[in-house]
């Protein structure tokens, strides 16, 4: 078990992922060989990427692609561009993708990729050269029937477009389905842009019903104001009537007890690059935001922001984990003991991979759905998955993350056994 002392020093996200699996494996009485098999990636590729920068100097970048488990189908998972990327972060995210695709019951496995870089300090031309260099190295293990990447932190539909173009050139024919999150003009799916947040909002809606919690006007704080956080704000207000009182990004946070207008905050952020300095709010830190006395908390940034150090100070009734891995195992136990209802990450933010799967399906048979149909099918998938987890938590008398693992791991373990792997 990770102790609070270790948490304060440095948290290894892959060890967190393994610990979460171990807890579920014990409750499922999982065969030891299957358990050990599921603790590790099936394969991973490390690549070194020389890229000529705009000033003519060649810079060397390092990247990864992890294919964690493909027992249920081709692996699926995003590609991150981040200066603090590590192989253990990619391994953890690939593991969580394995459980994520299983908990929403789509026929895919889990993968993840990343490049150690600072995209904010790179020009569009440099980002294009880096994206193409990555596909030249990793493309040999990608494909619609092998492994299908997608956008993640600091990657965009445009980056996906460069990648699919490079892959198609290497193959000698178009294979738009080898990557998702693409622009609509290159086979993207309607409804993909807000899918991660929309899936989480559907889960929150169902949680409100299960808990008897009125969400109309419920105070909400959003930590992280990227794609998931911004759409969490927009859709939370539009679909559930939430009152968002605080939001934050990497530079800090803002708070207004009367509520923050989505359009005004976005206009300010687009103009200045941050929510900080928004004139109709007070400045707060990310740490203060997490501990606000609100009904709904949406951790929507990076891993391990709620730990044993601060979990006792979390006052929200519901934590909607739009980020991957925002809560450590020790913190989960504290939140559960304190009555905080956590909608765990690999259930809560599975809307993104679900609509990515819909994109793959549409690419495969060359027929595209309109946005209302995408929303309808996403709602059905997320609602079914939420109730499977909620009922499992009640049956086993465990918190929701363990319940989500029980649902997902049992499905992957069954596929492993049926294939005769262990």
pLDDT in tens, 85-124: 999 999 999 999 999 999 999 999 999 999 999 999 999 9
pLDDT digits (tens, 9 = 90+) for 291-306: 999 999 999 987 788 9
The pLDDT value recorded for residue 260 is: 97
Q: Over the chain, what is the mean pLDDT?
A: 94
Read off the pLDDT band of 270 (50, 70, 90): very high
pLDDT digits (tens, 9 = 90+) for 320-366: 999 988 999 899 999 999 999 999 998 999 999 999 999 999 999 99
pLDDT surpassing 80 at residue 1: no
Integer Cα distance of 27 and 30 in angstroms: 8
Integer Cα distance of 253 and 246 in angstroms: 7
Catalytic residues: 112
Instruction: Name every residue whose Cβ is closer than 8 Å to that of residue 365 and which is 6 or more positions away in sequence.
Output: none
The pLDDT value recorded for residue 332 is: 93
Half-sphere exposure of 320 (CA within 13 A, CB side): 32
The pLDDT value recorded for residue 304 is: 81
Tell me the pairing of strands 147-151 and 243-249: unpaired
Half-sphere exposure of 247 (CA within 13 A, CB side): 30
pLDDT digits (tens, 9 = 90+) for 233-266: 999 999 999 999 999 998 999 999 999 999 999 9
Integer Cα distance of 311 and 337 in angstroms: 10
What are the percentages of helix, strand and coil residues in the chain, rounded to 5? 50, 20, 30
pLDDT digits (tens, 9 = 90+) for 116-168: 999 999 999 999 999 999 999 999 999 999 999 999 889 999 999 999 999 99
The pLDDT value recorded for residue 183 is: 96
Domains of the chain: 43-186 (3.40.50.10860), 195-348 (3.40.50.720)
Q: What is the mean pLDDT of residues 161-182?
A: 96
pLDDT digits (tens, 9 = 90+) for 183-208: 999 999 999 999 999 999 999 999 99
The pLDDT value recorded for residue 5 is: 40
pLDDT surpassing 50 at residue 2: no
Read off the pLDDT band of 9 (50, 70, 90): low
Integer Cα distance of 397 and 116 in angstroms: 41
* pTM for this model (two decimals): 0.91
The pLDDT value recorded for residue 34 is: 97
Please answer whether residues 313 and 291 qualify as being in contact, where contact means their C-beta atoms are separated by less than 8 angstroms.
yes
The pLDDT value recorded for residue 324 is: 84
């Amino acid at each position: 078990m990770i102790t609070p002392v270790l948490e304060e020093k440095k948290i290894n996200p892959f060890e967190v992922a393994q610990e979460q699996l171990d807890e579920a494996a014990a409750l499922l009485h999982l065969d030891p060989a299957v358990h050990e098999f599921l603790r590790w990636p099936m394969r991973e590729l490390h690549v070194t990427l020389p890229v000529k920068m705009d000033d003519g100097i060649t810079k060397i970048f390092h990247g990864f692609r992890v294919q964690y488990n493909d027992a249920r189908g081709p692996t699926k998972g995003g590609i991150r561009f981040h200066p603090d990327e590590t192989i253990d972060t990619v391994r953890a995210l690939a593991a969580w993708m394995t459980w994520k695709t299983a908990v929403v019951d789509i026929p895919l496995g889990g993968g993840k990729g990343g490049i150690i870089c600072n995209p904010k300090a790179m020009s569009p031309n440099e980002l294009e050269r880096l994206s193409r260099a990555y596909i030249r190295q990793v493309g040999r293990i990608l494909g619609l029937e092998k492994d299908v990447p997608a956008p993640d932190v600091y990657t965009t539909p445009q980056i996906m477009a460069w990648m699919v173009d490079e892959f198609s050139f290497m193959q000698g024919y178009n294979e738009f389905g080898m990557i998702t999150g693409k622009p609509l003009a290159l086979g993207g799916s309607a409804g993909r842009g807000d899918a991660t947040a929309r899936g989480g909002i559907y889960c929150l809606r169902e949680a409100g019903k299960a808990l008897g919690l009125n969400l109309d006007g419920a105070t909400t704080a959003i930590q992280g104001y990227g794609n998931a956080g911004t759409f969490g704000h927009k859709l939370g207000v539009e679909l559930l009537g939430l009152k968002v009182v605080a939001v934050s990004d990497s530079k800090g946070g803002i708070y207004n007890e009367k509520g923050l207008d989505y359009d005004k905050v976005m206009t300010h952020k687009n103009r200045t690059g941050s929510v900080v300095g928004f004139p109709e709010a007070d400045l707060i830190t990310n740490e203060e935001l997490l501990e606000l006395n609100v009904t709904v908390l949406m951790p929507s940034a990076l891993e391990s922001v709620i730990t044993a150090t601060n979990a006792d100070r979390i006052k929200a009734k519901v934590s909607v984990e739009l980020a991957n891995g925002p809560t450590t195992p020790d913190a989960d136990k504290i939140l559960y003991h304190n009555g905080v209802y956590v909608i765990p990450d690999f259930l809560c933010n599975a809307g993104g991979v679900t609509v990515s799967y819909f994109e793959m399906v549409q690419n495969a048979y060359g027929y595209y759905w309109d946005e209302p149909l995408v929303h309808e099918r996403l709602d059905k998938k997320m609602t079914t998955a939420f109730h499977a987890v909620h009922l499992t938590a009640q049956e086993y008398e465990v918190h929701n993350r363990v319940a989500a693992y029980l649902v997902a791991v049992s499905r992957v373990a069954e596929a492993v056994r049926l294939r005769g792997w262990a």
